[in-house]
Amino acid sequence: MNKNFIRFSACIALATTCGYAQVNDSIKVKQLDEVVFSDTKFSQSKEKSGKVITKITAAELQKKSGQSLASILNSVTGVEINGAQSANGKNLGYYIRGGKNQQVLIVIDGNPVTDASGISHEYDLRLLPVDQIESIEIMKGAASTLYGSGAATAVINITLKKSSKKAIETLIYSSVGTNNTASNHKYNGQDFNQGFSVNGTIDKVNYLVSLNSTETNGMSQIAEPNSDSNYDKDRFSRINYLSKIGIKASDKLTLNFFGNYDKVNNDYDYQFDNTGLNDTDLNKSKTEQFRFGFSPKFIYAKGEFNLNSSFSKIERNYQEWNSWTNEIDNSKYESRSVTVDGFNKYKFNQEFIIITGLNYQFFDMNTQTPYGELTSEGSKFNMIDPYFSGVYSSDFGLNVNAGARINMHSQYGNQVVYNINPSFNFGKEIPLKLLASYSTAFVTPSLYQLYSEYGTASLTPEKNTTIESGFEALFFNRKLTINAVGFYREQNNSIGSDANYKYSNIEGLNKAKGVETTLQYSFTSNLNCNINYTFTQVDEALNRLIPKHKVNASIDFSATKRLFFNVNYHYVDDRNDTFYDGNLYKVVPAKLGSYQLLNALVKFEVISNRFNVFGNVTNVFNQDFTENSGYSTRGRNFNIGLNLKL
Q: What's the pLDDT tens digit per position in 536-577?
A: 999 999 999 999 999 999 999 999 999 999 999 999 999 999
619 to 180, 572, 639: CA distances (angstroms): 11, 13, 12
If you average pLDDT over residues 264-286, what whole number do you get? 76
If you average pLDDT over residues 101-119, what whole number do you get? 94
Rounded-to-integer distance, Cα 49 and Cα 571, Å: 30
Number of Cβ within a 10 Å radius of residue 309: 17
pLDDT above 90: residue 206: yes
Q: Which residues contact 176 (CB under 8 A, 6 or more apart)?
A: 189, 191, 192, 193, 639, 640, 641
Query: Looking at per-residue confidence, does 589 or 210 come out higher?
Result: 210
pLDDT above 50: residue 517: yes
> What pLDDT is stored for residue 122 in this prediction?
87
Number of Cβ within a 10 Å radius of residue 530: 29
> What pLDDT is stored for residue 229 in this prediction?
66
**Are the CB atoms for 191 and 166 separated by under 8 Å?**
no
> What pLDDT is stored for residue 11 in this prediction?
40
Q: Which residues contact 548 (CB under 8 A, 6 or more apart)?
A: 535, 536, 537, 573, 574
Helix (H, G, I), strand (E, B) or coil at 542: helix
> What pLDDT is stored for residue 30 in this prediction?
44
**pLDDT tier for residue 226 given thresholds of 50, 70 and 90:** low
Q: Which residues contact 206 (CB under 8 A, 6 or more apart)?
A: 162, 163, 199, 200, 244, 245, 246
pLDDT above 90: residue 203: yes
Number of Cβ within a 10 Å radius of residue 198: 17
Name the phi and psi angles at 26, rounded to 5.
75, 15
Which one, of 517, 511, 557, lies nearest residue 533 by Cα?
517
Give the range among 187-191, 257-261, 334-338 with minimum mean pLDDT: 187-191
Dihedral over alpha carbons 281, 287, 288, 289 (to 10 degrees): -160
Rounded-to-integer distance, Cα 436 and Cα 485, Å: 9
Query: Looking at per-residue confidence, does 350 or 107 come out higher?
Result: 107
Q: What is the DSSP letter of 47?
A: G
**DSSP annotation string for 477-489:** TTTEEEEEEEEEE
H or E stretch at 557 = strand 549-558
According to DSSP, the β-strands at 595-607 and 611-618 are antiparallel
| DSSP 3-state percent helix, strand, coil across the chain (nearest 5) | 5, 55, 35
According to DSSP, the β-strands at 35-36 and 284-294 are unpaired
CATH superfamily of 3-645: TonB-dependent receptor, beta-barrel domain (2.40.170.20)
Q: Which residues contact 466 (CB under 8 A, 6 or more apart)?
A: 97, 141, 142, 153, 437, 438, 439, 440, 441, 487, 488, 489, 490
**DSSP annotation string for 74-101:** TTSTTEEEETTTS-TTS--EEEETT--G
Domain ranges of the chain: 3-645
Rounded-to-integer distance, Cα 484 and Cα 243, Å: 39
H or E stretch at 10 = helix 3-16
pLDDT above 60: residue 108: yes
Give the range among 361-365, 435-439, 452-456 with minimum mean pLDDT: 452-456
**Are the CB atoms for 90 and 83 separated by under 8 Å?**
yes
**DSSP annotation string for 572-634:** E--EEEEEEETTTTEEEEEEEPPEEEEEEEEEEEEETTTEEEEEEEESTT-----SSTTB---
> What pLDDT is stored for residue 276 in this prediction?
54
Q: Which residues contact 9 (CB under 8 A, 6 or more apart)?
A: none
pLDDT, tens only, 330-388: 999 999 999 999 999 999 998 999 999 999 999 999 999 888 888 989 899 999 999 99
pLDDT above 60: residue 273: no
Which one, of 541, 458, 443, lies nearest residue 502 by Cα?
458
- How far, rounded to the nearest angstrom, does the alpha carbon of residue 5 sit from its chain's CA centroid? 31
**pLDDT tier for residue 587 given thresholds of 50, 70 and 90:** confident
Q: Considering the chain, what is the average pLDDT of its residues?
A: 89
Percentage above 90 pLDDT, the chain: 72
**Are the CB atoms for 388 and 346 separated by under 8 Å?**
no
Rounded-to-integer distance, Cα 368 and Cα 318, Å: 10
pLDDT, tens only, 20-55: 333 333 344 444 457 878 888 888 887 788 888 999
Q: What is the DSSP letter of 270?
A: P
pLDDT, tens only, 381-413: 999 999 999 999 998 999 999 999 999 999 998
Q: Which residues contact 81 (CB under 8 A, 6 or more apart)?
A: 70, 71, 73, 74, 92, 93, 94, 95, 125
> What pLDDT is stored for residue 5 in this prediction?
36
- How far, rounded to the nearest angstrom, does the alpha carbon of residue 99 sit from its chain's CA centroid? 13
Rounded-to-integer distance, Cα 153 and Cα 132, Å: 25
Rounded-to-integer distance, Cα 630 and Cα 234, Å: 15
> What pLDDT is stored for residue 275 in this prediction?
53
